[in-house]
A and B are shown apart, each in its own frame.
Chain A
């Protein structure tokens, strides 16, 4: 039995049930999932500033998961807030949903495009920084934006699917993408039309993160402590 804790790095429980339901479809039979959002921080993550607000609370939830005996943790946001800090502090495997998704996409084609939710002007730096950090900038054809607030996409599902298809079409036809990555963990069940009509694989980041986390647990692997060394002990006040 593997115990995996999903940490949703936003200060709202609005997504927990949807995420758990979606991940439940992809988990192995002997995986037990628990989900928690952070108690303080931003209500959604759409920019680098939001990431800063979410990070500390996210890492603390991750620490709690390890202390409770979980085998792995997933930070469920495409901005991967707190991921590097948590990799330092924890010994159990931590995965973000962005990092595995872009690696998977790189195995499927030559160039992927990321379909982000928030507006271009706000969202771009956060996502471009992550692609750079993971060393896959050369494989990224473009980052495109639905230009909808994250908190509205579930309420306006038709518009979400339509905007996704529009932007994915431009990514494929003009930017040269052969693979599409959904750039937000909260885009549920909207990828079919892109897959079928544009003839490209669509990587949905949540399930990929879940299966990567399961694989790491099975293989007895986790982040390298030579690179993500444990932080020194000291007083840290909040």
Chain B
């Protein structure tokens, strides 16, 4: 039995149940998934500043997962707050949904576009671009496009939000030259089929890609390299 802990790095629990449902649909039969959000931090993660608010609490949840005997951890937010820190501190595999999503997309075509949601393109693009630079996959990215809305609205009017996302995906394919789409937010649940049907391109759902990668790493006895993500030294750290 593989026990995977999903840490949702926001201080609200509204996403826990939909994520659990999604994962239960796609997990292997011998995988057990538990989902927690962080007790403090930002209510949603839309920019580097939000990530700063969420990082510490996210790493602490990841540490808890390891000490409770989990075999792997997924940080469930496309901004991946705390991912690199958790890779340092933990020895079990830690997977972010952006990293897994863009690597999958890179195997499917030449250039992917990330379609995300957020309050404005200015706020989201730079933040997500930082991650692509870190993964050295910025050169495979045709564009990052933002459907302008509040992330929490994704819970409200799914049809209206789907139209906005679809419009941006269409521009990505037709204007920016993307051959593959990556959904740039873990909360865009169930939009992949509509995009594939209308635009004829593969759509990578990053949360599911992360689940598969995490299961694979556990199965193969792999985790982040401790030569690059060396353990932090012992010292007093106060909160």
Contacts and interface: CB of A to CB of B under 8 A. Distances in A.
A200 B196 CA distance: 39
A227 B135 CA distance: 22
A139 B135 CA distance: 9
A212 B107 contact: yes
Given A107-B213, A208-B220, A212-B107, A226 B225 contact: no
A123 interface: no
Interface residues of B, number: 46
Given A103-B103, A109-B229, A215-B212, A224 B109 contact: yes
B154 interface: no
B226 A135 contact: no
A221 B140 contact: no
A201 interface: yes
B108 A224 contact: yes
Contact of A109 (B99, B103, B224): B224
A60 interface: no
A99 interface: yes
Interface in B222-236: 222-229
Interface stretch (B9-17, B119-127, B161-169, B200-208): B200-208
Given A222-B202, A224-B201, A95 B107 contact: yes
A173 to B, nearest CB: 10
B216 interface: yes
Contact of A106 (B28, B135, B196): B135
A16 B201 CA distance: 34
Interface residues of A, number: 44
Given A106-B135, A200-B225, 17 more contacts: A99-B107, A103-B106, A106-B136, A107-B99, A107-B103, A108-B223, A109-B228, A135-B139, A136-B136, A178-B227, A179-B227, A199-B226, A199-B227, A200-B227, A204-B220, A215-B104, A215-B212
Interface of B: 26, 28-29, 95, 99-100, 103-104, 106-111, 135-137, 139-140, 173, 179-180, 196, 200-205, 208-209, 212-213, 215-217, 219-220, 222-229
Interface of A: 26, 28-29, 95, 99-100, 103-104, 106-111, 134-136, 138-139, 172, 178-179, 199-204, 207-208, 211-212, 215, 218-228
